[in-house]
Every structure is written in structure tokens, then in C-alpha cells.
Amino acid sequence: MRQVFTTGLLWFSAVGCGLMAGVYFAFSTFIMTALGRLDQAAGIVVMNAINVDIVRSLFMPLFLGTTIAGAALVVMGVLRLSEPGAVSMIAGGGLYVVGMFVVTVVFNVPLNDALAAVQPSSPEAGAVWAAYLKDWVLWNHVRTVASAVASALLIVALVA
């Protein structure tokens, strides 16, 4: 029974991390580029709308579920350190929790909050928007890579 639970959790996490990597990849490679080509007021309005809607979407259960599962896999891996795949479980779960969740909370969310606080057509909005595009995308690249590598490590754990 324990092995079935572990395998199910690994599958859920590997697929979830892969899906999250895809979402972040889309933002990093073309969504933010397109928003950056809009005038500042339009770009800010659209990004703020995305930030409001994303927390009301199916994104959030996946975001939170994979984070909880990643943390659980770290604990399970530590408790089974001598078993095959344990190191990959620890590395994948840990990388995901730190590289995706912690980065989101520490960097991306505060940037989103600062963007939401600015009046889109104000003179200071231009500087906020320019910094947002640079900094938010940088941290989103980190989330993309962390999610993709975590997915791969969890697949390695499944194969082991």
C-alpha cells in the first residue's frame, strides 16, 4: 500500500511540475514579450487582470497541490534514504518547493502586488512596468527551470 501511495504521489508531482513548467515557460517565452510590446497602461492592466484571474482558476489547486506533494516527497525520501529513487525524490521535491514556491512567494508575488498598486497611466508607472518586466521575467525563468528539472528528477525517482 505504501508503494502504491508513493508511486501515485510521484506521478502526480512529476506531471504537476511539468504542467507548471509549461505555464511558466509560456509566460517567459511569449506572453510577457507580447505584454511588453503594449503601451505601459495596457500592459499593466492586462497583467493585473491575469494576476486576479489566476488565483481564481484551476492553476491554484495545481500550484498548491504540487507544492504540498513536493514537500511530502522530501520527507518520504529522507525517511527512505536507502531505497532506490529516494535521492531523486528529495532533490525533485526540494527543488520544486524552493525554486518554484519560495521564489513565487518571495519575488513574483511582491512584484505583482507592486504592479497592482500603481496607477497604469501615471508617470511613475513606466518605471514600475519596465522594472516589473525585467525582474518578474527573471524570477519566472527560475520557476520554469526549477519546475522542469523537478519533473525530470521525479521521473527518475519513478524509474528507480
Could you tell me the pTM of the whole model?
0.95
Instruction: Give which of 25, 24, 60, 21 is closest to 154, Cα–Cα.
Output: 21
Conformational region of residue 38, where left means phi above 0, alpha means psi within -120 to 50, and beta covers everything else: beta
Cβ neighbours, 10 Å, residue 116 = 12
Give the chain's largest Cα–Cα span.
61
**Given pLDDT bands bounded at 50, 70 and 90, which one contains residue 2?**
confident
Asked whether the predicted pLDDT for residue 10 surpasses 90, the reply is: yes
Helix H or strand E encompassing 58: none
Asked whether the predicted pLDDT for residue 1 surpasses 90, the reply is: no
- Cα 17 to chain centroid distance, Å, stands at 8
Across the range 33-42, mean pLDDT stands at 97
CA dihedral 106, 42, 60, 7 (to 10 degrees): -80
pLDDT, mean over the chain? 97
CA atoms within 13 Å, Cβ hemisphere of 131: 13
Q: What residue ranges do the domains of the chain occupy?
A: 2-159
pLDDT digits (tens, 9 = 90+) for 89-140: 999 999 999 999 999 999 999 999 999 999 999 999 999 999 999 999 999 9
Dihedral sign computed on CA atoms, order 131, 134, 137, 139? negative
Across the range 60-82, mean pLDDT stands at 97
Asked whether the predicted pLDDT for residue 47 surpasses 90, the reply is: yes
- Cell matching residue 27: 509566460
Conformational region of residue 141, where left means phi above 0, alpha means psi within -120 to 50, and beta covers everything else: alpha
Q: 86-110 burial, b if ≥16 CB within 10 A, otherwise e?
A: bebbbbbbbbbbbbbbebbeebbee
% pLDDT > 70, the chain: 100
